[in-house]
Amino acid sequence: MDHFDLVDGELHAEQVSLTALAAEVGTPVYIYSTATLTRHYTVLREALDAHPSVLGDSLIAYAVKANSNLSVLATLARLGCGADTVSEGEIRRALKAGIPADRIIFSGVGKTDAELAFALQAGVRQINVESVPELDRLAAIAAGLGVVADIAIRVNPKIGAGGHAKITTGGEGDKFGVPADEALDLYARAAASPHLNPVGLGCHIGSQITDLTPLEGAFGLLRKLTETLRQQGLPVTRIDLGGGLGVPYVGGAVTASPADYAAMTARVLDGLDVEAAFEPGRLLAANAGILLARVIQVTERADGRRFLVLDAAMNDLLRPAMYDAFHEVKPVAPREGEPVAYDIVGPVCETGDTFARGRLLPPIQAGDLVVFTGAGAYGATMSSEYNSRPLVPEVLVDGERWAVVRARPSYDEMLARETTADWL
Ligand SMILES: *Cc1c(COP(=O)(O)O)cnc(C)c1O
């Protein structure tokens, strides 16, 4: 399903040898496939377009937080993709990558006044409002700028779902959105303001969702609320269907297909006559990226335990430490021999810096290259310089070509960002 395959016994990214890439760029490094990004977008677009009367003019607003690299965004922009953003920085990235403002949605629980003003001045498609105080602040800011803000209300459907408690967003106790009854009041309150134009409703109930039932429940609730608002004479023209459909991380649960997802959505929205927006993040990016790392050493304990110590660490790929996430690990040039169980760890001084335990792999030696698959989403975007490890670089591959799209900072560059206080 992706474009990271063995060619003559060695893993490649499309037509580019990972061994050659590692020699030129060094490790650790993230590598993204243009062909996979394109394929994922196209599969979803075609699944939606298979229901032209309901979803034909729907917007795919890629969740920028999954992978915000400018070249990744530009690749998606060229395909016609929009953006779901959660900060001024992400709006700036989307605009810089060529995503038109009228395809950019601004979401998030805590938008500052400055960010709201920036979004209004940039002319984004819509701002998804999550609370009463935010609605009132936005009305005041829009009035100050002399503009009318197109908004959607994010409903918390009290249906949480997702692959891990930390990525469930639609549960009753989660911080996101407003309960259904309050959403109706908020919509009416927005309609009464001369500086707000409520255009629709939205929801996002979680990430890595593998079962369509909770999504169907949430979308059904949005439909009911739309009908109620219309009965009250309030127009509703857009519905924002967040809720990150899961992706097949190998070893994880089987996921619903984009076709099943589109069919379910088309069924729920049939005849409602709204413009739908979808906000996939990992669905587009996760399996379009790998993290390439080198084995520093193989440590064998007296009890037989074997540790594979990599030059990649939790600061480069946080998901296993943060969400107990599973990433498949593969050698770039698999050696002959019986599989061996390895604990796969990084050099950071935390026990949490463990990517996997007891993973069966072909025999591996110091200096070998390995990849983490499914690392294109929430990989580089969550990386840090913890332990003063320079920020992990990123490479985009397209057929035979490749480009460093975020360079590894030198130690001098890393230290140059800081200054010593003048009294020291
Ligand atoms: C995180 C998020 C997404 C994307 O979630 P994925 O699981 O990556 O698809 C979409 N919409 C909102 C509002 C989000 O917070």
Extract the tokens encoding 366. 């110091």
Average pLDDT, the chain: 94
End-to-end CA distance of the chain: 56
Percentage of the chain modeled with pLDDT above 90: 86
Average pLDDT, integer, range 211-230: 94
Cis peptide, bond prior to residue 28, ω within 30 of zero? yes
Contact (Cβ atoms closer than 8 angstroms) between residue 176 and residue 220: no
Are the beta carbons of 22 and 292 closer than 8 angstroms?
yes
Ligand 1 centroid to residue 207 C-alpha, Å: 6
Radius of gyration of the chain (CA): 23
Residue 223 CB–ligand 1 contact under 6 Å = no
Average pLDDT over residues 301-328: 95
Under the banding of pLDDT at 50, 70 and 90, the label for residue 243 is low
Please choose from 41, 64, 72, 84 the residue to mutate so as to test ligand 1's pocket, defined by most ligand atoms within 8 A of CB: 84
**Higher pLDDT residue, 297 or 351?**
297
Full-model pTM: 0.95
For residue 360, with 0-12 CB atoms within 10 Å meaning exposed, 13-18 middle and 19 or more buried, which class applies? exposed
**pLDDT confidence of 155, banded at 50, 70, 90?**
very high
Whether 84 is in the pocket of ligand 1, judged by its Cβ within 6 Å, is yes
Whole-number Å distance, alpha carbon 279 to ligand 1 midpoint, is: 6
User: How many alpha carbons fall within 13 Å on the CB side of residue 262?
Assistant: 20
Mean pLDDT of 29-50: 97
**Burial profile 3-18: b = 16 or more Cβ within 10 angstroms, e = fewer:** bbeeeeebbbbbebbb
Question: Which of 3.30.70.20, 2.40.37.10, 3.90.980.10, 1.20.1540.10 would CATH assign to domain 4-32+286-416?
Answer: 2.40.37.10
Residue list, annotated binding site for pyridoxal 5'-phosphate: 244, 279-282, 378
- Residue 349 a catalytic site member: yes
In ligand 1, the atom with minimum distance to the C-alpha of 162 is: 7
Summarised one tens digit per residue, pLDDT across range 102-142 is: 999 999 999 999 999 999 999 999 999 999 999 999 999 99
Q: Which atom of ligand 1 is nearest to the CA of 285?
A: 8
One-letter amino acid of 193: S
Q: Return the pLDDT at 205.
A: 85
pLDDT at 216: 93
Ligand 1 midpoint to CA 202 (Å): 12
**Residue 380 · residue 371 · CB < 8 Å:** no
Q: What is the 3-state secondary structure (H, E, C) of the chain?
A: CCCEEEECCEEEECCEEHHHHHHHHCCCEEEEEHHHHHHHHHHHHHHHHCCHHHHCCCEEEEEHHHCCCHHHHHHHHHCCCEEEECCHHHHHHHHHCCCCHHHEEECCCCCCHHHHHHHHHHCCCEEEECCHHHHHHHHHHHHHHCCCEEEEEEEECCCCCCCCHHHECCCCCCCCCEEHHHHHHHHHHHHCCCCEEEEEEEECCECCECCHHHHHHHHHHHHHHHHHHHHCCCCCCEEEECCCECCCCCCCCCCCCHHHHHHHHHHHHCCCCCEEEECCCHHHHHHHEEEEEEEEEEEECCCCCEEEEECCCCCCCCHHHHHCCCCCEEECCCCCCCCEEEEEECCCCCCCCEEEEEEEECCCCCCCEEEECCCCCCCHHHCCCHHHCCCCCEEEEECCEEEEEECCCCHHHHHHCCCCCCCC
Residue 154 in contact with ligand 1 by CB distance below 6 A: no
CATH 3.20.20.10 intervals, the chain: 33-285
Q: Which of 254, 302, 349, 421 is catalytic?
A: 349
pLDDT at 170 over 80: no
Q: Start-end ranges of CATH 2.40.37.10 in the chain?
A: 4-32+286-416
Query: Quick one: average pLDDT of 50-68?
Result: 96
Instruction: Give CATH for domain 33-285.
Output: 3.20.20.10
Check if 279 has its Cβ closer than 6 Å to any atom of ligand 1. Answer: yes
What is the C-alpha to C-alpha distance for residues 149 and 291, in angstroms, rounded to an integer? Answer: 41
pLDDT tens-digit map of 345-389: 999 988 889 999 999 999 999 999 999 999 999 999 999 999 999
Cα of 113 to ligand 1 centre, how many Å? Answer: 23
Amino acid symbol at 315: N
**pLDDT of the residue at 206:** 80
Does residue 38 contact residue 274 with C-beta atoms inside 8 Å?
Answer: no
Binding site residue list for substrate: 282, 319, 323, 350, 378
What does residue 350 show for φ and ψ, rounded to 5 degrees? -150, 140
CA–centroid distance, residue 145 to ligand 1 (Å): 30
Per-residue pLDDT at 363: 97
Contact 222, 203 (CB under 8 A): yes
Binding residues: 244, 279-282, 319, 323, 350, 378
pLDDT attached to residue 210:
83
* CB distance 373 to 13 below 8 Å: no
Check pLDDT > 60 for residue 251.
no
107 CB near ligand 1 (under 6 Å): yes
Longest dimension (CA), the chain: 75
